[in-house]
Amino acid sequence: MASDKVLQLNDAEFDSAIGSDQPTLVDFWAPWCGPCKAIGPVVEELAEEYEGKLSIAKMNVDDNPVTPGKFGIRAIPTLILFRGGEVVDQITGAVGKTQLVDLINKAL
């Protein structure tokens, strides 16, 4: 079940979604990706916990090939943290919640 706190992004709206001063964590994923499914609930949990401080979005790389190409994403899941449209940091693979919290705290 997808959380209503997680934005579903597409290529057309990507730049405006990450351009705000509030940090945005984008989860690049695909429905067939096992590790993506494993990390999904953690991403949704973080969306609840950081509501108001951080935006969390997901982008299906199969449906939106332009943006992942622009950021050189070759493996999924890849989570990229943006602030003001700039990449703050990124992490690839199904990592634990602690690593994601550490990543988020760099931008807060």
Q: What is the pLDDT of residues 11-35, one digit of tens each?
A: 999 999 998 889 999 999 999 999 9
- In the set 33, 54, 79, 81, the catalytic residue is 33
33 catalytic? Reply is yes
The string of pLDDT tens digits covering residues 64-78 is 999 999 999 999 999
Report the DSSP pairing between strands 24-29 and 86-92: unpaired
Residue 30 to residue 73: CA distance in whole angstroms: 12
Number of residues assigned to the chain: 108
86 is catalytic: no
- Domains along the chain with CATH numbers: 6-105 (3.40.30.10)
pTM of the model: 0.94
Render pLDDT for 79-102 as a digit per residue (tens, 0 to 9).
Answer: 999 999 999 999 999 999 999 999
Among the listed residues 6, 18, 26, 36, the single catalytic one is 36
